[in-house]
Amino acid sequence: MEIRVEIAKGGNATVFAISACEDLRHDYDYFIRQARKCDEYKPSTVFLHKRYLRASLLTLFAYAEAVINNWLFHSLERKGRISEFKKVQRKSLEEKFNLLDKAAAQGGSRASLASAKRLRNLVVHLTPGRDAEFFDGLTLTTLKKAEQELTLWLRKMEPVLRMERHAKTAKLVRKFSRKMGTVTADVSSKSK
C-alpha cells in the first residue's frame, strides 16, 4: 500500500491511499453487483451478465493471490527468510494455501475453490472447443460459493497469522488526514 499527498497552490491537500489488493476486492464486489443487475436468462443481457461474472471470477482469484502473496512475504520476512519469497511467489495457489495452512498449523481448513478454479483455468488457459463448458459453468452461484469459502478461510487465517488481508485505506486516510489538518478530498476505489 502507498499513501500519496498532493498539495495544491492554495494549500488544499488530497490524500490518496493506493492498495492494489484492496482495489481487487472492490473490483470483485463491483462486478458481482453488475452481474446481478443483468438478467441471466434474457437473451439481450445474458452476455453482459456473463461478462461481469468473468470479470468477477478473475478479480476474485487475483485478490486471493494478492492476499496470499502478501501473507507469505511477511511470514518469510518475520522468519528472516525473505530471500525465499521469489521462489514461493511462483508456486500455484494450491501450494501457497498449503504453505500457509502448514505455517499456521491449520491443516485441512483451506477454502474449497475447485469449481471456481476449474472455470478460471478454462478462461485463463482457453482451450479450443470448451467455450460452452465455460459459458454454462460460470454462474453467480459458483462465484458466490467460491467467495464465501475464500472469505471464511481468510477470516480464519488473519488471527492465526496475525495479519490483515489488506489495510483499510479509507480508515488510514481519515487517520492520516486528521494529523495533517484540512484535507479537501480522500479517494478510494470502493463504490459508494
Provide the whole-model pTM: 0.82
| Segment holding 183, helix H or strand E | strand 183-187
pLDDT of residue 184: 55
Tell which wins on pLDDT, 169 or 147: 147
Residue 160: HSE in the Cβ half-sphere, 13 Å Cα cutoff: 15
**d(C-alpha 66, C-alpha 21), whole Å:** 6
Q: Mean pLDDT over all residues of the chain?
A: 84
At position 82, the amino acid (one-letter code) is I
Residue 4: HSE in the Cβ half-sphere, 13 Å Cα cutoff: 6
Tell which wins on pLDDT, 13 or 146: 146
Q: Which three cell numbers stand for residue 80?
A: 528472516
| CA-atom Rg of the chain in angstroms | 19
Produce one character per residue of 90-102: b if its CB has 16 or more CB atoms within 10 Å, e if not.
eeebeebbebbbe
